[in-house]
Structure 1
Amino acid sequence: MNFINIIKALLFIVLALVSAAYIVACYPVADKTNHAGISEERATELRKEFTGPHHLLTTADGATLFLRRWNPDRVPHGKIAILILHGITAYSGPYAMAGIPFAEHGYTTFGLDYRGHGLSSGNRGDTPGKERWIKDMAETVAYIKDLGFSEVVVLGHSLGVAAAFSVANAVPNEIAGLIMLSGAYEGREGVSKPPSFLELTRLYVSSVLRPSYQVYQYYREGMTVTEDSLFNFRYTPRFLLMLDAKKLRLPAEMNIPVLVGIGDEDELFTVEKVRELYDLIPGDKKEFLVMKNATHANIPRESWLQIVDWLDRTYTVK
């Protein structure tokens, strides 16, 4: 075989591999959730129609982030604000379960919709990358401080725990405290089936060929799928692969108040695994809370009031 024929054979093999990879990436999969989400355009329309207390933050790269707000019913606790970072598939709206009791007890509370989620702009379930995702949250903290709040306590739930770790590392001197709920480095055994070889191949091939396409569907057996169209159950490869949550740690020299909590009926994480995360948090200003009758996503008012008590003891009791 002469040199020209070798080159042709190699080109044919490369073309066949690329074609096969593209077929794997684009091969349709069954919709397991039957959830009707929204487009970025519809999110923009709904954002314009929203009349409740909120702020619109324009990021350094021109995106619009939606920041929901719960205002205190009585004299607020000085310059303290709570910033809620939501879990995967969610957005700020369902966190009224926290925002309302916090506001009732004097804490101005904000809930951020990540880019590509809820009423924020951006391709659904997507991010330009880890750095931009973290900058969005850091810019949100700065925005809240510019509103006149000198102390920002970040509350992360589920995926929001990884978000809280990330923003605390990015702007450690701007965070007055952390509340980390329903998150750990390892999940409960047997909850989710490990992805098949084909699913992993599809995910990683898509991360190269079409990183902004919602190739992954978030689903597990027994999961309740809400009809709320602002939830998002489809994600892009670059969102899912942007960070390794198991490697997240707070700076060793960081010694701010931290509350770590887990529901005693959480379906995704065990109390023991969450305590392992707690044990790795530096400093001597940390507390651990087991919330009674709380599942992963449904945390009762009584638990939020326990968190209010922690806030009172930590920030307002002299």
Structure 2
Amino acid sequence: MRQQQEKSFISHDGCQIFYRYWPAVDSDQQSNQALVLFHRGHEHSGRVAHLADELALPDFQIFAWDARGNGQSEGERGDAPNFATLVKDAQCFIEHITQEYGLNQQDIAIIAQSVGAVIASAWVHDYVPNIRALVLASPAFSVKLYVPLAVPGLKLLYNFKGNFFVNSYVKPNLLTHDAERARSFTQDPLITRPISVRLLLDLYSVSDRIIKDAKAITVPTQLLVSGSDYVVRRKPQQQFYDNLGTPQKECHILPGFFHDTLGEKDRHIALERARRFILGCFASPAYTPSRLNADRVGYTRLETDNLTLPPSGLVKPLYWKFIKASLKYAGKISHGIKLGLETGFDSGSTLDYVYRNEPAGNSKLGQFFDYLYLQSIGWRGIRQRKLNLEELLKEAISRLQQQNDKVNIVDIAAGHGRYILDTITQIAHKPDYVLLRDYSDINVRDGQTLIEQKGLSDIVRFEKGDAFDRQQLAQLSPKPNLAIVSGLYELFGDNQLIHNSLAGLADAIPVGGYLIYTNQPWHPQLTFIARALTSHRDGQPWIMRRRTQLEMDQLVAQAGFKKITMRIDQWGIFTVSLAQRIH
């Protein structure tokens, strides 16, 4: 029997998370291999503790957490601010155990079940950890609610009355054929039967995104699917498996198994397959496929090529003509839509308007249209990106000041520079020098006005410049030790442009300096944007090519930077990363 230890760590927002730890059996020789367990919804780490022995992996250290709001962890029972909070908790958990126990990500395997499997798959998708293997048991991508129109009904009630809780309807004898395990489920005081509707609806939303974009997942993945599952649907599990981007994948249908796959009476069948898969993945060196040529070959390139084609059929062309005509009409009374039509919906002027988030129009109807426009999910993501940028900018400035270094900042495509100027005004110890650059004369003019309004002319300067000219960037003076690239690379699908820009920054930034960069790995409105909105580039359709986070991080690594940390909005649209130049 393994010896269990009870531990805890503090997550990103101060929430204390409980976890169990089982050292490798031969404690005299510390193993660098680790297995992390994510429990089922409503449950806790004690419900997967039996796996520490039953998996028969004595050379592995094993960790299992109580997710926020479950078991012995803090947080309201069965609730969280959103599902992305749980995914970020997972990132903090892995960061904690790698630092505390001297582990490398490539020496970690994950086994996750049900809701825990959705957390794990979203974490692997969003944060692109270089882990060795991922085993998902009956992932809860779509819960069977059995009530007609249950999800739309819950959405309507949630919008009307706010957050509320629903109880799990599943009886223990429909979770497992193991009578003792079913009995213990009923008697376990740490089981949390209620779940908040907010979290339940978010589970559906995140699952839908992860299934659609599973090609971005390159970690070797095994699915263990219960053949007689009364809790979750099998079709989304199959869609996820079919879409997976890793060639190393397996899907096992386990006949007669109920939902508690890893707690079933005949669970040894599932555990033997998981053990074999994990040991097989560890038998060869960790491998991450290169995505540096994804601008030429791959599914995001195919997606973009399809968006360049005119809409097909008879109805779709008429539909998009109607949408564009509606936008043109709305632009006559909505200030934000008018600005987008005049300067481009991807322009610095539009971005600054979105940041300010103050609906304006020529009439009450115009203000209402402007409000709806500013509340679109893409613009909400942009405003969250600004907050994440400000957070990492403060962290980078603090790191440099703690090293007693001068803080020389450059933003190579600043737009109006609002987010960086807002940040500077919030901190007590100002940077030594800030250079804002942009290719647009309008942005330079309006950015300079904003600098003067905020009284920062003594340390901030704005100039015109090309963010893709390697020589210009290499000759920046004074040499920056903190560079920011926000909202730029997302607008250009060509990786050679990004390579030139990053290489120029690497030429300018000394070893030990920092880079903050953004990315757009996902957007639910790509088709609408391509068909209806125009770009700042001569009013052409605004067609974007998404970059997976792996692709963006590899471009940054190629330039000599190592990623330190990352932030992502709750919808999975925009990421902000901090990297340090290492060579």
What is the TM-score normalised by the length of structure 2?
0.41
Q: Does residue 127 of structure 1 match 2:80? A: yes
1:204 CA drift (Å): 4.4
- Comparing 272-281 with 167-176, greater Cα deviation is found at 272-281
Equivalent in 188, 191, 200 of residue 228 of structure 1 = 188
207 and 119 in structure 1: CA distance in 2 versus 1, 3 angstrom threshold: farther
CA contact (8 A) 1:72 1:103 kept: no
1:172 CA drift (Å): 0.5
195 and 301 in structure 1: CA distance in 2 versus 1, 3 angstrom threshold: same
Local SS of the residue matching 1:153: strand
Q: Does residue 163 of structure 1 match 2:116? A: no
Structure 1 vs Structure 2: percent identity of aligned residues?
19
Alpha-carbon distance in 2 for matches of 1:195, 1:258: 33
Alpha-carbon distance in 1 for matches of 2:218, 2:153: 42
Q: Does residue 309 of structure 1 match 2:259? A: no
More relative contact order in 1 or in 2 (CA 8 Å, sep 6+)? Answer: 1
1:66 CA drift (Å): 0.8
96 and 291 in structure 1: CA distance in 2 versus 1, 3 angstrom threshold: farther
Q: Does residue 149 of structure 1 match 2:103? A: yes
Alpha-carbon distance in 2 for matches of 1:192, 1:254: 28
CA contact (8 A) 2:218 2:244 kept: no
Equivalent in 2, 5, 14 of residue 62 of structure 1 = 14
Deviations 1:41-96 (A, max 9, x none): xxxxxxxxxx9412201012111001112333247794221211222111111112
The amino acid across from 2:137 in the alignment is L
168 and 208 in structure 1: CA distance in 2 versus 1, 3 angstrom threshold: farther
Deviations 1:157-195 (A, max 9, x none): 1112211121112321343321111126456xxx64216
CA contact (8 A) 2:34 2:62 kept: yes
Name the residue aligned to 2:306.
none
Alpha-carbon distance in 1 for matches of 2:79, 2:140: 23
CA contact (8 A) 1:169 1:251 kept: yes
Q: Map of 1:34-183 to 2, 5 A cutoff?
A: 52-74=4-26, 78-102=31-55, 104-146=57-99, 147-150=101-104, 151-183=107-139
208 and 91 in structure 1: CA distance in 2 versus 1, 3 angstrom threshold: farther
CA contact (8 A) 1:154 1:179 kept: yes
Alpha-carbon distance in 2 for matches of 1:103, 1:206: 45
1:258 CA drift (Å): 0.8
> How many pairs does the alignment contain?
262
Alpha-carbon distance in 2 for matches of 1:77, 1:265: 40
The amino acid across from 1:278 in the alignment is Y
What is the TM-score normalised by the length of structure 1?
0.71
Equivalent in 266, 274, 294 of residue 257 of structure 2 = 294
Deviations 1:234-286 (A, max 9, x none): 12222212241233145535422111111344334576664333111112111
Deviations 1:12-39 (A, max 9, x none): xxxxxxxxxxxxxxxxxxxxxxxxxxxx
Name the residue aligned to 1:9.
none
Alpha-carbon distance in 2 for matches of 1:288, 1:173: 22
1:134 CA drift (Å): 1.5
Name the residue aligned to 2:243.
280
Alpha-carbon distance in 2 for matches of 1:252, 1:173: 15
CA contact (8 A) 1:77 1:107 kept: no
Name the residue aligned to 1:260.
223
CA contact (8 A) 1:58 1:65 kept: yes
Deviations 1:210-242 (A, max 9, x none): 52x5x2111147746622111111122222122
Alpha-carbon distance in 2 for matches of 1:96, 1:309: 20
194 and 257 in structure 1: CA distance in 2 versus 1, 3 angstrom threshold: same
Local SS of the residue matching 2:110: strand
Which entry has the higher C-alpha Rg, 1 or 2?
Answer: 2
Q: Does residue 242 of structure 1 match 2:202? A: yes
279 and 313 in structure 1: CA distance in 2 versus 1, 3 angstrom threshold: same
Alpha-carbon distance in 2 for matches of 1:80, 1:207: 46
How large is the Cα RMSD of the aligned pairs? 3.1
Local SS of the residue matching 2:186: coil
Local SS of the residue matching 2:120: helix
273 and 200 in structure 1: CA distance in 2 versus 1, 3 angstrom threshold: closer
CA contact (8 A) 1:192 1:220 kept: no
1:128 CA drift (Å): 1.6
Gaps (5+ residues) in structure 2?
175-181, 286-583
1:120 CA drift (Å): 0.3
Local SS of the residue matching 1:288: strand
The amino acid across from 1:236 in the alignment is S
Deviations 1:107-158 (A, max 9, x none): 2221121110011001100102233222111101111211212122222211
CA contact (8 A) 2:155 2:201 kept: no
